[in-house]
Amino acid sequence: MIVLGKRQKLSVVQKVDFGVYLADGMQEHPEEKVLLPGRQVPENTQEGDELSVFIYRDSMDRLIATVHEPLLEIGQTAVLEVVDTGKIGAFLNWGLEKDLLLPFREQTTPVKKGDQCLVALYEDKSHRLCATMKVYHYLHMQSPYGIGDMVKGRVYELSKNFGVFIAVDDRYSALIPKSEAQGGYRVNDILDLRVTQVKEDGKLNVSARKKAHIQLEEDAEMIFRVMEQSGGMLPLDDKSDPLQIKGRLGISKAAFKRAVGHLMKEGKIIQEPGKIVVKQNE
């Protein structure tokens, strides 16, 4: 059986002027054949020889074989470059003559020429090979990482209900839970993350925030720097709306209150109704 989107070994069953026809040598009377164009046929190839080829469709949507290695096979993921865009989607370089279509409906964010994006390869309802940025079901669940490990991850999808979906090392399934997703994230952002949980199925929960005492110092430093840039005052206090705090500083209200308390303890700021102010040296 000839399998679309996979590299497989097929037997030469017919030589013609423009190439050779290949079929599954395991079948006694193979009905399905696929062409390997003449420019790709190895020298001295004879009928009965076995060749390792990848099967896809040409510009006429006909099955075609190639000896070239694609950057991914069906069901796999890879980071590919956008080489062009058109009326039906974007086109990706995947190492073959015909570029790979990434339909608009399979994009988790609009892409443009030159972008790098993580995609999976699948067969659509018309039996054509296409790319999708919705890679959740294609990522591996068993990673080599444990709680506390630092990892690199790529944002591939944003969810209002669940949080930020991450592909660790571009291959392992991970999530920044909604409660941890402080600040703005964009698809294709590359983040330094800390593993906070390994679930029973192997998926990871990760956090962009560091261990509490380190994060507290960084939040406090950031707030003090913003205050200095704002003339020594911020119109925020412990009664401010959480959305207002997050919109201004990119952190939660709880993190804001911890950092403000830390700065007050160090004698750097004072809190007044509706605002915090840099403490002046007497």
Domain boundaries, position 36: 7-66
Is residue 55 within 8 A of residue 21, CB to CB? The reply is no
Please indicate, yes or no, whether residues 93 and 54 belong to a single structural domain of this protein.
no
Whether the per-residue pLDDT at 282 is higher than 60: the answer is: no
Select from 107, 136, 165 the last residue of a domain: 136
Name the pLDDT band for 28 (thresholds 50, 70, 90).
Answer: low
Domain membership flag for residue 27? yes
Span 99-124, mean pLDDT? Answer: 95
Number of structural domains the chain divides into: 4
Whether the per-residue pLDDT at 171 is higher than 60: the answer is: yes
Span 181-197, mean pLDDT? Answer: 85
How much is the pTM? 0.70
Span 101-123, mean pLDDT? Answer: 95
Looking at residue 62, its pLDDT comes to: 86
Span 231-260, mean pLDDT? Answer: 85
Looking at residue 212, its pLDDT comes to: 55
Span 254-264, mean pLDDT? Answer: 86
Question: Which of the pair, 247 or 3, is modelled with greater confidence?
Answer: 3
- Can you spell out the DSSP letters for the chain? ---TTSEEEEEEEEEETTEEEEE-TTSSS----EEEEGGGSPTT--TT-EEEEEEEE-TTS-EEEESSPPS--TT-EEEEEEEEE-SSEEEEE-SSSSPEEEEGGG-SS---TT-EEEEEEEE-TTS-EEEES--GGGSBS--S--TT-EEEEEEEEEETTTEEEEEETTTEEEEEEGGG--S---TT-EEEEEEEEE-TTS-EEEESS--HHHHHHHHHHHHHHHHHHTTSEES--TTS-HHHHHHHHSS-HHHHHHHHHHHHHTTSEEEETTEEEEPPP-
Span 3-19, mean pLDDT? Answer: 91
Domain membership flag for residue 2? no
Looking at residue 70, its pLDDT comes to: 95
Select from 66, 90, 117 the last residue of a domain: 66
Looking at residue 153, its pLDDT comes to: 94
Span 200-215, mean pLDDT? Answer: 78
Enter the tokens of residue 128: 């054509």
* Residue owning tokens 């919109």: 247
| Integer Cα distance of 176 and 168 in angstroms | 11
Select from 66, 92, 114 the last residue of a domain: 66
Percent of the chain with pLDDT over 90: 50
Looking at residue 281, its pLDDT comes to: 67
Q: pLDDT averaged over the chain?
A: 89
Domain membership flag for residue 222? yes
Whether the per-residue pLDDT at 211 is higher than 80: the answer is: no
CATH code, 42:
2.40.50.140
Please indicate, yes or no, whether residues 200 and 224 belong to a single structural domain of this protein.
no
128-138 confidence digits (pLDDT tens)? 999 999 999 99
The closest of 61, 57, 65, 58 to 22, measured between CA atoms, is: 65
| Integer Cα distance of 259 and 261 in angstroms | 5
Looking at residue 214, its pLDDT comes to: 62
Number of DSSP helices (H) and strands (E) in the chain, helices first: 3, 18
Whether the per-residue pLDDT at 180 is higher than 80: the answer is: no
Domain membership flag for residue 142? no
Please indicate, yes or no, whether residues 62 and 83 belong to a single structural domain of this protein.
no
Looking at residue 259, its pLDDT comes to: 87
Name the pLDDT band for 30 (thresholds 50, 70, 90).
Answer: low
32-51 confidence digits (pLDDT tens)? 889 999 999 998 888 888 99
The closest of 61, 17, 69 to 39, measured between CA atoms, is: 17
Domain membership flag for residue 153? yes
Please indicate, yes or no, whether residues 218 and 264 belong to a single structural domain of this protein.
yes
Catalogue the E-assigned strands of 109-235: 116-123, 129-132, 150-159, 163-168, 172-177, 190-198, 204-207, 233-234
Looking at residue 244, its pLDDT comes to: 87
Question: Which of the pair, 263 or 182, is modelled with greater confidence?
Answer: 263
Looking at residue 246, its pLDDT comes to: 78
Looking at residue 217, its pLDDT comes to: 81
Q: Sign of the C-alpha dihedral, residues 272, 278, 279, 280?
A: negative
